[in-house]
Structure 1
Amino acid sequence: MLELKTPREIAAMGVTGIFIAELLDDLARRARPGVNLLDLEHRARELIAARGAQSCYWDYEPSFGRGPFRNVICLSVNDAVLHGLPHDYVLKDADVLTMDIAVSIDGWAADSARTVIVGTPRAEDRRLVAATEQALSAGVAAALPGNRLGDVSAAIGAVAADYGYAVNTEFGGHGIGRTMHEDPHVPNTGRPGRGLELRPGLTLALEPWFAAGTDRIVYDPDGWTIRSADGSRTAHSEHTIAITDGPPLVLTSRARGA
């Protein structure tokens, strides 16, 4: 079922979104060579508790995971791209780190992911991260009232194709609002003019993620962490947005917080 949100409810989601943007800013500043992933997890817990927010990840137990998930953030390094379990790993120079988090404040959720390069960047990693960021921007730009969900997916997939990256369709974006995952599913590639018509009040988490060399994935023994099947590096960018009568609102934008 689709639940269209009122302007007041979207504003409440925006409060959560600004907090997430600020939290990711804080963690990005701390993500340096020599920092342990567990330090970033603990910092995220501190910020969530101080704000009186609730983690959407804690005790999350979907069919694909070996749950319940007992962390508040997903931290995925290099060839890991989704659902990375924070663990005892010290970041190294040139590591690619994806931070993905969803929280709820006063009953309204938002979800965002950001990939950062730790220390000295490699050109090919910069290119990969830029591709996900540009794909996210293209998806947001296509999220106009009267357009179709396929227009959003096609816009994301077109950027991947331009960069030469294959697209996995097992995991993509999703509806969001009172809970972290709501209908509809938003694939990272698709056909324009197809699918659900976008209507004001629809709130979505768009999340293009690409691997440099493949669209196939494998799971770690932990049952959660998803990696590229060929070991190539990965990147992931995500925003929570709201469809309006005009341009979409990016609820997890750093610019809104500023």
Structure 2
Amino acid sequence: MIELKTPQEIEEMKPAGHFVGSILNELREKTKVGTNLLEIDEIVHKRIADRKGAQSCYVDYAPDFGTGPFAHYICISINDAVLHGVPYDYTLKDGDLVSLDLAISVDGWVGDSAISFVVGKDKDPSDLRLIKSTEEALAAGIAEAIPGNRLGDISHAIGEVAAEYGYPVNLEFGGHGVGHIMHGDPHVPNDGKAHHGYKLRPGLVIAIEPWFMKTTDEIFQDQRDGWTLRSVDGSRGAHSEHTIAITENGPIVLTAREGDPLSKLYN
């Protein structure tokens, strides 16, 4: 069921979004060549433990698309992994493409956001192009998140950016409703038909999350951990995500980060 938030409830969601955004900014600065993925997970664990009212949305999460309960505080996907990456004992190397996906509840409300970046000096231009495409698709989707538009307008805008860059789009996983739970209705595909679907209304809060892979739209679940989703052909993936609220005055990016071009939509 799709739930609409009151203006007061949207205000109450802002601390969670700000907290998630601030941690992702911190992690971007601290994640370098030589950083171990378990160190990143522990930073998030400590930040959550130190914040009154904060709870991980991932620890013990056991949806039907995973194998058993998730046992970490952040999803970290490296190179050909694009979603649901389980942190493990791996030390980052020069040129690794890192995607960090973080969802935290603060005082009962969830913020969910993701960023991708390359560590080190050996930055493959094709990796940077892929990341840029997801960021542009995210901005395009958010721009369509206004009352009176349809859910398909958001999906279509994302898909158009992917098509311009020449990337195929997987429709198995996409954006979703956000509120007291991390994953709710509606599902927000990363491609679709403009002017179709659910009519957007003030109070709708959703995560918009374009994720693309370079040369395929097919994924498989890594059976070593039962969670990590990888490209079938080994090509790299990237992922960008924000939690946004639709209001009469336009979209508000609840998970906006300092330095993010979309931070102007935070208020």
TM above 0.5, one fold?
yes
CA distances 1:51-98 after superposition (whole Å, capped 9, x unpaired): 121001111001111110011100000000000000000000010000
| Offset of residue 246 of structure 1 | 2.2
Identity %: 57
Secondary structure, aligned partner of 1:254? coil
| Offset of residue 243 of structure 1 | 0.5
| Offset of residue 227 of structure 1 | 0.5
Secondary structure, aligned partner of 2:145? coil
1:23 aligned residue: 23
| Offset of residue 14 of structure 1 | 1.2
Correspondence list, 1:68-79, <5 A: 68-79=69-80
1:228 aligned residue: 231
Equivalent position amino acid for 1:62 in 2: P
RMSD between superposed Cα atoms in Å: 1.1
1:146 aligned residue: 148
Instruction: Quote the Cα distance in structure 1 between the aligned partners of 2:176 and 2:117.
Output: 23
1:36 aligned residue: 36
Equivalent position amino acid for 1:135 in 2: A
Structure 1: runs of 5 or more not aligned: none
Secondary structure, aligned partner of 2:71? coil
| Offset of residue 249 of structure 1 | 0.3
Secondary structure, aligned partner of 2:250? coil
1:93 aligned residue: 94
1:158 is the counterpart of 2:160: yes
Instruction: Quote the Cα distance in structure 1 between the aligned partners of 2:24 and 2:48.
Output: 12
Equivalent position amino acid for 2:30 in 1: R
1:249 aligned residue: 252
Instruction: Quote the Cα distance in structure 1 between the aligned partners of 2:74 and 2:30.
Output: 15
Instruction: Quote the Cα distance in structure 1 between the aligned partners of 2:181 and 2:135.
Output: 25
| Offset of residue 247 of structure 1 | 1.4
Instruction: Quote the Cα distance in structure 2 between the aligned partners of 1:17 and 1:119.
Output: 28
Instruction: Quote the Cα distance in structure 2 between the aligned partners of 1:161 and 1:236.
Output: 16
Instruction: Quote the Cα distance in structure 1 between the aligned partners of 2:12 and 2:124.
Output: 39
CA distances 1:113-144 after superposition (whole Å, capped 9, x unpaired): 00011112110010000000000000000001
Secondary structure, aligned partner of 1:243? strand
1:198 aligned residue: 200
Instruction: Quote the Cα distance in structure 2 between the aligned partners of 1:246 and 1:128.
Output: 31
Secondary structure, aligned partner of 1:204? strand
Instruction: Quote the Cα distance in structure 1 between the aligned partners of 2:193 and 2:205.
Output: 21
Count of matched residue pairs: 258
Instruction: Quote the Cα distance in structure 1 between the aligned partners of 2:163 and 2:14.
Output: 32
Equivalent position amino acid for 2:149 in 1: N
Structure 2: runs of 5 or more not aligned: none
1:177 aligned residue: 179
2:115 aligned residue: 114
